[in-house]
Homo-oligomer: A and B are copies of this chain.
């Protein structure tokens, strides 16, 4: 164990920030950290949009389902998969690159590149004593987000990252067991073991909620997940991505 692993293990999402903006130096350290992440074949298929404009932040908060920590934080980053750059390069270099850019493979590369960069940004921010919260809610209405951030085709805003000085700490939610997430040599083939691990996790989670709420709440994780997934959400996504000329072939 060391300070870095301690920082990583100490992560919790912060949803309450002090009214204190990040300095330009902090923003730069966070973005350079993001850029230091690995990138598939040096492709760097992502962009980061930092939103300072208060009106835009307010609009983003609405679009993300009225989450006020999208508006009230030290800085708000939007991480985007970005193959637009490469499409422009194709034109400049007079090479036919768009069939490749429009493949599911390259869509995946954009998502992976952007996410690796984002997690570096998150860890860098936390190492500076700041708190972070990922905001998947911006995917509620990407058409509007796209207009707001003026992103061209082949750029997909994936998630926000709210960063700031924590005003209220939150508790950590226990994760699935190490044994359930981590498989050795092959994926777990024994369904009895697999289901038993889920049952044990359910017990852990339901005790966790019970203790936190003084007995008022006692959800199981699997019930939460089934309930959440029963509702179909953001089903417009395929059409949106393809309209933006990615994941087409």
* Chain B residue, CB-CB nearest to A106: B229
Chain A 100-117: CB-based contact to B (< 8 A → 1; otherwise 0): 110111101101100110
Query: What separation, in Å, do the CA atoms of A124 and B235 have in the docked complex?
Result: 35
A4/B123 in contact, CB under 8 A: yes
Which candidate, A15-23, A66-74, A151-159, A210-218, is the interface stretch facing chain B? A151-159
Selected contact of A9 from candidates B32, B108, B238, CB within 8 Å: B32
| Interface range, A side | 35 or more
Secondary structure of the A contact surface, majority rule: helix
The count of identical subunits is 2
B109/A112 in contact, CB under 8 A: no
Q: How far is the CB of A225 from chain B (nearest CB, A)?
A: 5
A249: B residues at CB distance < 8 A: 235, 238
Selected contact of A152 from candidates B29, B187, B233, B237, CB within 8 Å: B187
A103/B181 in contact, CB under 8 A: no
Query: What separation, in Å, do the CA atoms of A211 and B149 have in the docked complex?
Result: 39
A8/B247 in contact, CB under 8 A: no
Selected contact of A229 from candidates B35, B53, B100, B148, CB within 8 Å: B100
A185/B53 in contact, CB under 8 A: yes
Selected contact of A5 from candidates B88, B124, B148, CB within 8 Å: B124
A118: B residues at CB distance < 8 A: 116
A5/B29 in contact, CB under 8 A: yes
A44/B8 in contact, CB under 8 A: no
* Chain B residue, CB-CB nearest to A51: B185
Selected contact of A150 from candidates B187, B194, B222, CB within 8 Å: B187
A105/B4 in contact, CB under 8 A: no
Query: Which residue numbers of A lie inside 8 Å of B, CB to CB?
Result: 1-5, 7-11, 13, 27-29, 31-38, 40-44, 46-53, 56, 85-86, 88-90, 92-93, 95-97, 99-101, 103-106, 108-109, 111-112, 115-116, 118-120, 122-124, 127-128, 132-134, 136, 139, 148-152, 155, 158-159, 173, 175-176, 178, 181-187, 189, 194-195, 198, 221-235, 237-238, 241, 247, 249
